[in-house]
Chains A and B, each alone.
Chain A
């Protein structure tokens, strides 16, 4: 760590900002992994996050006279949080359960989902204006957008909801 403490004072805010962005991105991803029950990933991210945080905080605390260090610390914290969210969305680890409700075009939607290689379970329900199809479809999180576009192209009025799930047993998952 001596490099950091003896770095030129003009550079210090940038170093602090960079460290904070890095450690908060890791921390945000860690929290999101914890929510999804990914233990090994949560451990690894937690380790590196706290390692970097200790370096950043001690650098700031021993250089409290330069207000830019504090500004860099706080904006780095806020920015790192958002960067972590962005990365996690791109990684899109995990699974989502899509529920599609459609009036009239249910079987067409289910057929097209199956043709694309995903699994769909059709149920029939009754809405205010008559029979509707309820289609259940579990896909990997990164496939949600693709399925959504496909459903929309067949029935622009379909009601689509997504929730996060953890698969317990079996099912048909596209490899």
Chain B
């Protein structure tokens, strides 16, 4: 275990020492590309870490934090001295922006946690309810009153991953259904698969 740590530390140290050299070896043409890719990777990790943090998942937050800091100190800190070239500066900023977008995309793709659907429908309530129950979801139906009379208000908790397909199913039955989504934390019980 100790020798493993030693090897890891030596490797990180070698990155640190060769940092300035590493960047000096790049030709002016490819340097902006390298800067862009590194900055984008760093910012992607950072964005995903932010989502994980706001969901209270400590283990994942620790791991992503470690990765991000190693990448920053090992590679990106070396770039900071190279930013006098305007193309490097643009690549750095573009990498930051691209990383944020990629991070959001990854979070949407993984989509951990639960969402709460509230569907307001005029007339098609029972149809929507049976469609949701056929799909294995728990639904609570409430009567409501809208401008043009009685409406059904449906409450339904689903995994966040299922939001888009569920929405498609609902709108196929009632294109006029009003569907809103909230992010929730499920504490106890329920019929969430």
* A residues adjacent to B (C-beta < 8 A): 20, 24, 28, 31-32, 35, 57, 60-61, 64-68, 70-71, 73-82, 84-86, 89, 98-99, 101, 123-128, 132, 134, 144, 148, 151-152, 156-163
Please pick, from B17, B70, B142, B188, the residue contacting A123 in the complex, using a CB distance under 8 A. Answer: B142
Interface on B for A, CB 8 Å cutoff? 9-10, 12-17, 19, 49-50, 53-54, 56, 58, 61-66, 68-70, 73-74, 77, 114, 116, 133, 138-142, 155, 157, 182-191
Query: Can you report 11 A-B residue pairs in the complex whose CB atoms are below 8 A from each other?
Result: A61-B77, A67-B12, A75-B66, A81-B53, A82-B62, A82-B65, A85-B61, A161-B157, A161-B184, A161-B187, A163-B184
Which A residue's beta carbon lies closest to that of B157? Answer: A161
Complex contact A126–B13 (CB within 8 A): no
Q: Are A70 and B16 in contact (CB under 8 A)?
A: yes
What secondary structure prevails in chain A residues at the interface with B?
A: helix
Query: In the assembly, what is the distance between CA of A37 and CA of B95, in Å?
Result: 28
A70 touches B12 (CB 8 A): yes
Closest to B58 in A: A82
Q: Are B13 and A79 in contact (CB under 8 A)?
A: no
A8 to chain B minimum Cβ distance, whole angstroms, is 19
- Closest-by-CB residue of B relative to A77 is B69
- Please tell me which one of the listed residues B17, B53, B140, B142 contacts residue A32 in the complex, with CB atoms under 8 A apart: B53
Quick check: A148 and B188 within 8 Å, CB to CB? yes
Chain A residues whose C-beta falls within 8 Å of the C-beta of B74 in the assembled complex: 70
Are A128 and B139 in touch, CB under 8 angstroms? yes
Q: How far is the CB of A104 from chain B (nearest CB, A)?
A: 13
CB-defined contacts of B141 to chain A, threshold 8 Å: 125-127
A128 touching B133, Cβ below 8 Å: yes
Partner pick for B16 among A32, A67, A128, A151, CB 8 A cutoff: A67
The CA of A132 and the CA of B190, in the complex, are separated in Å by 12
Q: Is the CB of B53 within 8 A of A85?
A: yes
